[in-house]
Amino acid sequence: MVSRNKTARDLARGRRRSFVKRWYDRALQCKDPYDRFFCLWIALVAAAQRRRTLTGIPFREIYADREKVLEYFECNTSIIYDILLKNKSKLTFLASRKGLRFGQPVLDTRSLRLRRILADFASHYLEGLPIGEEALVEAFAEILNKIRINLFQGLDREDLELLKVVNPLLKEILRRCEFVQPSGEIRRLIRSC
């Protein structure tokens, strides 16, 4: 008799791998930045779910995409941090932004916790204040999630400006963390955090 965990891991190696790949490839083909972002987001959430399944610890059903993405970023901190270091000008642009409604750093939010994270992110890039590797990676994950939420609430010209910055970064994160080659198969070494 095959155990349920073995079956889930086999599924994660096979079908989920191809699911991540299909959405990543769709993103590469999209001309529209909104479509590209959502294709990359779906690939990211699927990759997070796949990583969890391969480790034998599935997410509880109540886990939202945000929690999955935050954990995925945490487990891939060194790779993502390296990508962020190489894209300082893009991140400085994000840090210099103010939300259109309330003028908060980067994006407007009602969450006090997220306001603090975004303020620390902005202070790091604009004032040189130190921020830890994990905190920087978490801040970027939170920015991606907040952009996703804002897009669901309605398209805005400021969203297009953000997507032009974050889409290449999100694409590179997926490429590096999943070892995705646009014309090839996903090659993934499972890392557990």
Please tell me the predicted confidence (pLDDT) of residue 191: 42
Q: Report yes or no on 168 lying in a domain.
A: yes
pLDDT for residue 154? 74
The mean pLDDT value for 91-115 works out to 88
Residue 53 lies in a domain: yes
- Rounded CA gap, 20 and 28, in Å? 13
What average pLDDT does this structure show over 37-49?
A: 94
Indicate the number of domains in the chain. 1
Mean pLDDT, rounded, of the chain: 84
The whole domain housing 72 covers 4-178
pLDDT at 111 over 80: yes
**171 vs 10, 84, 113, 115, 177, CA distance in Å?**
26, 12, 27, 26, 10
> pLDDT class for 76, splitting at 50, 70, 90?
very high
- What is the pLDDT, as a whole number, of residue 181? 46
* 38 found inside a domain: yes
DSSP label at 105?
B
In a domain, 153, yes or no: yes
Q: What is the pLDDT of residue 161?
A: 85
Has residue 187 been placed in a domain?
A: no
Residue 185 confidence (pLDDT): 38
- Tell me what the mean pLDDT of segment 64-69 comes to: 92
Q: In this structure, is residue 40 part of a structural domain? A: yes
User: Does some domain include residue 184?
Assistant: no
16 in any annotated domain: yes
In the block, tokens 């972002």 appear at 37
pLDDT at residue 3 is higher than 60? no
User: How confident is the model over 125-180, as pLDDT tens digits?
Assistant: 999 999 999 999 999 999 999 999 888 877 566 678 899 999 999 999 999 998 64
